[in-house]
A and B are shown apart, each in its own frame.
Chain A
Amino acid sequence: MAELLTSFPRRRTVLLASLLAIGLTATACSAPGEDRSSAPKSDAAVKTELGTAPVTLEMYAETGFPLAKALADEFSKQHSNVSFNIREDQFTVIVENAPRVMASDNSPDIIRLPTMVDLVKDDLLKNLDPYFTAYGWDKFPASQLMQLRVGANTRGTGSLYGMGLGYSVTGVFYNKKLASQIGMTQPPATVAEFEQLLAKAKTAGVQPIMQFNKNTAGINFPHQALQNQFGDPTQVADWIFQKPGATFDTPAALKATQAIQKWAQAGYFPKDANALDYAGMVGEFQKGNGLFMFNGDWESANLDKAMPGNVGFFLFPAETAGGKHVAMSAPNTFGVSAKAKNPDAAAYFLNWVHTNATAREIAVKVGGSSPGGPSDLPVPAAAANTVLAETLKASQQLGAENGAVDFTANATGGIFAAAITPELQKLVAGQQTPEGYVKAVQAEYAKELSR
């Protein structure tokens, strides 16, 4: 074997080098990438009829979330000419794959979307404005679809590029047994009250917060929950929507980071948070190892099954009592690919998800989230005494208070992996200062936007 590795004859090296040179010349003729901006755009009027011809909708969905498949099955049951071909991947994989999959010849019709601005910039997403008009989606509350609008390189305004398969809300789950053990009788009304509960739990030997922080920073949930309360949430939203001049380096973000550092030093997070992943966190919480867990309503149905009657949920409280609630809340976004073969059928499906009674019930029961859609349609009820009923109520309350803010992790395609995750890991381990944290996140953001 050593012989084989060492005695590579010179002649063959020369041959290899020349082959490589040929390869280089062959590929170096043109710059990589294609200019899609001049690609022909179909001006054909959109159809809101499904028709009876057989259609196969290609769907690219997130694994571990059975909602998309459940909706697809029901749709096929109601419309026998439509079948689905569903490919599933983990969210992070979809984030990485989406641009290439959508640029390929086998682009899916309906795709679970990560951040959208880059995809719109590269002309990979279908503009849904014609369907908005055709289906009368203006009857939906405008705030519901705001996060799905992209215009002139910012989100929040402009054309519609996606719809939600449910609209999730985040807050704090709590273990009712542990709560009564430390004397918590009702959800905290202020941030200070919440901090008192944390201290009480710590004294009682109960793990105050069960939160993961391994491959993707789960501590960004409590961080943003605090950041939302400490300043004007519009500032947070502007930053996420990439509005010119928006910055992460704000007093609110700094104050939130200082609080997270304080919580970490006080041992409110698990000691091995940096080695704990999402599934590990949920597992530990279900085992009763933790009073609070910052998470979203997509986990409600699961928690109802795993620890029935023992989980409560509240929106993270404001800084002062009676203050308006602000919470991270985002659509379970799906878009239609610009290269989709059946865009009309895809849009029909997205409209059906919001308006069909059975579909709305599935969105609640399987997805655990509010189904969205026109304000005059009733939200299907969840069984009483379930955490699902509580998250649903929280979602309606948040809607009424108009306090939904997108996730800071969705600001750009790379911000979560490149800055938020490693820097938050450093912060909770005492390797980064709060000032350093907000500056590092802003620096990465500026770097990404400058490209």
Chain B
Amino acid sequence: MTSALGSAPTGRDERPARPTPTRAHRFRWARAAGTGWLYVLPALVMYAVFVLRPLALTIQYSLYDWNGIGVARWAGLDNYLTVFTDSDLLKIIGNAVILIVFFSFIPVALGLLVASLVRRITTGAFGTVVRTILFLPQVIPLVAAGIAWSWLLSSNGLINQVLRAVGLGGVARAWLGDFDTALPAVGVIGAWVLLGLCTILLVTGMSKIDPALYEAARLDGAGPVREFLAVTLPSLRQEIGVCLTVTIIAALASFDIVYISTSGGPGLQTTVPGLEIYRLAFSQRQVGLASALAVVLMLLVLACVLPIQRLTRGEKP
């Protein structure tokens, strides 16, 4: 009998080949594997305590009606029923879905454009400057970005001053306080923050594309657009996948930008699930409902992200 631990490496497994197992060898390897687990253990404990346990607790709380302190009352699936029938909560989930356009599609599309333009200047000092400027929004804390943007977008802020200066005073408004413009305005802040990340990822991806492919395309008479569609885009499938994954999660789980710039207002116009979960749990003390919304949000993130993962998965070499 050969134990699973001592079995010879399969083709799928790319561990280095081991000599034919003898009893002593097997013992040593088992011990090595044990040592391996020992190395992983601290991280595993952390993961279990700070990720798995809270996750399990959230699922448990979502089944109760609880104010966070007193005795909880079993509620079954009532909280989930509320999430799916309360018109306010549905609107809040809808807001997050709208934000995907701003947080995800715009930065990725713009990122592709910008990356194509700066691809040729990524080397040398100038390239470093360009990359630094592009990546800057990622380095600035989101709270600071939110504050700076709320100044820019206020009724006497820079953006309205510019609009008035060029004779578009009629368009000027309190962008973050207006029912029609608040959500798009928050979206613009998000797009600004995430554009840099997408561009840098895409530029890096582009630098790995074999120049021979471009040469071949050019020899076949392809212009810049054709070159982009036939060579650049397909080669960047994985990078685009990563960009979409990261930005969609950022859109659905957004909290800080919204909390700072609008606090979810006016009305519920910019309230997103992250903010509502926090409010339900801590200010309205409905821990059960907050947990149910959190679970639904997690499922929503998975439902959006998993298909992207599948679609953009690269073929194994």
Residues of B within 8 A of A414 (CB): 283-285
**B155 close to A271 (CB less than 8 A):** yes
Q: Which of A17-25, A329-337, A358-366 contacts B (4 or more CB under 8 A)?
A: A17-25
Q: Which of A117-125, A131-139, A303-311 contacts B (4 or more CB under 8 A)?
A: A117-125
Which of B282, B287, B309 has the most C-beta atoms of chain A within 10 angstroms of its own C-beta? B282
**B48 close to A19 (CB less than 8 A):** yes
Say whether, besides A422-B267, A431-B267, A271 and B313 are in contact (CB < 8 Å): no
User: How many chain A residues touch the partner (CB < 8 A)?
Assistant: 53
Is B263 among interface residues, defined by CB-CB distance under 8 A?
yes
Q: Which A residues between 32 and 47 are near B, CB-CB below 8 angstroms?
A: 32-36
Q: Which B residues between 254 and 299 are near A, CB-CB below 8 angstroms?
A: 262-268, 271, 279, 282-287
Q: Which of B68-76, B106-114, B136-144 contacts A (4 or more CB under 8 A)?
A: B68-76
**A122 close to B70 (CB less than 8 A):** yes
**How far apart sit A270 and B174, CA to CA, in the bound complex (Å)?**
10
Say whether, besides A92-B283, A271-B155, A426-B266, A33 and B314 are in contact (CB < 8 Å): no
Nearest-neighbor residue (CB-CB) of B265 within chain A: A425
Nearest-neighbor residue (CB-CB) of B49 within chain A: A23
**B238 close to A32 (CB less than 8 A):** no
**How far apart sit A6 and B72, CA to CA, in the bound complex (Å)?**
39
Residues of A within 8 A of B314 (CB): 2-3, 6
**B154 close to A272 (CB less than 8 A):** yes
**How far apart sit A412 and B218, CA to CA, in the bound complex (Å)?**
70
Is B59 among interface residues, defined by CB-CB distance under 8 A?
yes
| A21 shortest CB reach to chain B, Å | 8
Of B64, B262, B284, B313, the residue contacting A32 (CB under 8 A) is B64
Residues of A within 8 A of B73 (CB): 31
Residues of A within 8 A of B165 (CB): none
Interface size class of B (residues with CB under 8 A): 35 or more
**B68 close to A100 (CB less than 8 A):** yes
**B265 close to A214 (CB less than 8 A):** yes
Query: What sequence of 0s and 1s flags, for each residue 214-237 of chain A, a beta carbon within 8 Å of any chain B beta carbon?
Result: 110000000000000000000000
| B103 shortest CB reach to chain A, Å | 18
Residues of A contacting B: mostly? helix
**A23 close to B71 (CB less than 8 A):** no
Nearest-neighbor residue (CB-CB) of B278 within chain A: A96
Q: Which of A49-57, A241-249, A273-281 contacts B (4 or more CB under 8 A)?
A: A273-281
Of A34, A417, A422, the residue contacting B283 (CB under 8 A) is A417
**How far apart sit A99 and B281, CA to CA, in the bound complex (Å)?**
12
**How far apart sit A35 and B65, CA to CA, in the bound complex (Å)?**
15
Nearest-neighbor residue (CB-CB) of A32 within chain B: B72
Say whether, besides A24-B60, A276-B177, A429-B266, A31 and B72 are in contact (CB < 8 Å): yes
Say whether, besides A23-B52, A274-B174, A121 and B283 are in contact (CB < 8 Å): no
**How far apart sit A212 and B268, CA to CA, in the bound complex (Å)?**
17
**How far apart sit A1 and B67, CA to CA, in the bound complex (Å)?**
41
**B177 close to A28 (CB less than 8 A):** no
**B268 close to A422 (CB less than 8 A):** yes
**B70 close to A2 (CB less than 8 A):** no
Name 9 extra pairs, CB < 8 A, besides A23-B53, A418-B283, A423-B267.
Answer: A2-B241, A23-B48, A23-B55, A26-B56, A34-B71, A215-B263, A272-B173, A425-B267, A429-B178
Q: Which residues of B contact A (CB under 8 A)?
A: 48, 52-53, 55-57, 59-61, 64-74, 150, 154-155, 173-179, 238-239, 241-242, 245, 262-268, 271, 279, 282-287, 309, 312-314
Q: Which residues of A contact B (CB under 8 A)?
A: 1-3, 5-6, 16, 19-20, 23-24, 26-28, 31-36, 92, 95-97, 99-100, 103, 118, 121-122, 124, 214-215, 270-276, 413-414, 417-418, 421-423, 425-426, 429, 431-432, 448, 451
